[in-house]
Chain A
Amino acid sequence: MDGIILEVRNLTKTFPSKKGGFNAVDDISLSIKDGEILGLLGPNGAGKTTTIQMLLGVMDPSDGDILYFGTSLQKNRETILKQINFSSTYISLPWWFTVSEILELFARLYEIQERQKRIKKLLREFEMEELYKKEFRMLSAGEKTRLLLAKAFLNYPKIILLDEPTASLDPDIAVRIRQFLKKEKEKYNVSMLFTSHNMDEVEEMCDRVIVLSHGKIIAKDTPVNLVKSIRESEIELLIKKDRERAMKLFNKLELPFTQNGTMFTLVVDEKTIAEFLTLLTKENIEYEDISINKPDLEDYFLNIAKGEST
């Protein structure tokens, strides 16, 4: 149990349905260590938001246990919620409140000492000093996200649940937010549970990733290892001459390919790339240009989505 900030055991959420019951989250277990960033991935409807709602205590699980710092969320709600926080792109804040009023409200709810000092620091960190008198409804999508994040850091949380924290941000702001999150993690050893549709971001931020599908965990590993599990790479070949012969060869080798003029795109097992290229040379099929796209987390995610739709 040492160093475990959050532990989830056999968490299940069943909603009633005409067929008797539908498991939005189905017997999942996970843990987050001190200072660790865990990515929670999955297509829409996989159960990510339901899981986060249960972890925040705003939805009761049908079964299972949620333990923060080794104690049950249900039994020690107040003590635990003082030490955690969250930010979600899908949650709003009081529309008519100014930026400073919102931070003041939550600083009071979390009983922050030296409220004004903390609020000023966060406004500075999130580059919102000029906006403190602006009403929430007047903020741009990016500014709203930054405010939600500032709110999430108000109470010096030990763990933050971040539901797509950089969605709708300009790329340069998103980079700065990621830098800030990493800096906080380094400085205060803050743990994070992170959901995002930006796979580059997940690869950059997360130490480990859990993949949900239909409420179940279908994979858990480091981003690198998950990517390694995809064995196919994409090869792009620019073939000006010998196109007919090339196509015959691809068909003979049963390689799926698409053609766009002189450009061929093939999916080849990573282990056989060298063998395939040798064969092209042997068959005297000349290619003007070649690029090999190694799979990334995006491909892994697309593979899951493809599996779900078939």
Chain B
Amino acid sequence: MISINRIYAMIYRYTVNMRHNFDRMSDMFYWPAMDLFVWGLTGRYFSELSSDPKQTMLILLTGLIFWIVVWRAQYEITTNLLAEMWDQNLVNIFASPLKVSEWIIAVMIFGFIKMIISIIFSAGLAYLLYGYPIFIYGTSTIPIILSLILTGWSTGFLIAALIIRYGQKIQTLAWMGGYIIAPFSALYYPIAILPKWAQSVAKFVPSSYMFEAMRHLLQDHQISFQQFFISFILNMVYLTIGISFFMFMFRKSKKIGLGRFG
């Protein structure tokens, strides 16, 4: 039986950690703000060269903010696992009745909450700085965001699986691992401009469908259910693989002993 209390305990653990840790707090606001300043201004300059500056700017800002969804969802899973290693707390939590599945649910919920805060903050800032309402299409953006979260979680668990097995020596993957799908996700440009081989790869990247869908929504004011459906199916497959791979590597790691992480 999954215990709500233990899931809550782990959410409490990461919330308190964030409260005490300036870098965990700042990454929720600082990096999105910096991205918006730098890329927003760059985008504004380039958009003026285009035939439809407003539309170009909106596509760029939306791509920027929606990528935060993918990155944040992935980052929270990997860094919270690393937090247990940095604090030498892994044995303490897994020698308690906590189940791996409960830990997984806890980091997903915690990451979701942080992502919502981050995205509201970023969208608000984008509106204040550039006057563009990102959520102009309201509820139509919800399926896009949900699908991008699933992509982030899938990537997160695949990376976390490697970290639980190989430890802190590959911890840099926590920050850079998610970016491997960024070029194929076509955040700011249509998939059509990718080289042929990259277009083939993009077909297997669920976020590519969502960024395309997002541009389609902004340009034609319509949501593409087909793209959402393909993305959702791919996400479900990858999330299942991601979580299964994490569980498999966790078991492998237990064979050597979690005590090696403290």
CB distance from A209 to the nearest CB of B (A): 23
CA distance A280 to B44 in the complex (A): 104
CB distance from B76 to the nearest CB of A (A): 17
Segment of B84-92, B185-193, B223-231, B240-248 engaged in the interface with chain A: B84-92
The interface residues of chain B lying within 8 Å CB-to-CB of A50 are: 257
Mark each residue of chain A from 56 to 81: 1 if its CB lies under 8 Å from any CB of chain B, else 0: 11111000000000000000011001
**Cβ A105 vs Cβ B13 within 8 A:** yes
CA distance A15 to B255 in the complex (A): 9
Range, interface on chain A: 20 to 34
* A101 at the binding interface (Cβ < 8 Å): yes
Segment of B1-9, B120-128, B213-221 engaged in the interface with chain A: B1-9
* A94 at the binding interface (Cβ < 8 Å): yes
* B29 at the binding interface (Cβ < 8 Å): no
**Cβ B88 vs Cβ A91 within 8 A:** yes
Segment of B49-57, B61-69, B93-101 engaged in the interface with chain A: B93-101
**Cβ B259 vs Cβ A58 within 8 A:** yes
**Cβ A109 vs Cβ B93 within 8 A:** yes
**Cβ B89 vs Cβ A109 within 8 A:** no
The interface residues of chain B lying within 8 Å CB-to-CB of A88 are: 91
B-side interface residues, number (CB < 8 Å): 36
Q: A109-B98, A111-B3 are in contact. Are A58 and B9 (CB under 8 A)?
A: no
CB distance from B116 to the nearest CB of A (A): 23
Chain A positions 74-100 with a Cβ under 8 Å from a chain B Cβ: 77-78, 81-82, 86, 88, 90-97
CB distance from B258 to the nearest CB of A (A): 4
The interface residues of chain B lying within 8 Å CB-to-CB of A225 are: none
Segment of B15-23, B142-150, B175-183, B194-202 engaged in the interface with chain A: B15-23
**Cβ B257 vs Cβ A57 within 8 A:** no
- Within the complex, which residue of A60, A92, A105 is in contact with B16, where a contact is CB–CB below 8 Å? A105
- Within the complex, which residue of A60, A92, A151 is in contact with B87, where a contact is CB–CB below 8 Å? A92
Q: A53-B257, A108-B9 are in contact. Are A86 and B95 (CB under 8 A)?
A: yes
**Cβ A78 vs Cβ B97 within 8 A:** yes
Tell me the B residues contacting A by CB distance below 8 Å.
1, 3, 5-6, 8-10, 12-13, 16-17, 20-21, 83, 86-99, 251, 254-259, 262
Pairs A-B, 8 closest by C-beta atoms:
A108-B9, A59-B257, A92-B88, A96-B20, A58-B258, A56-B95, A109-B96, A81-B97
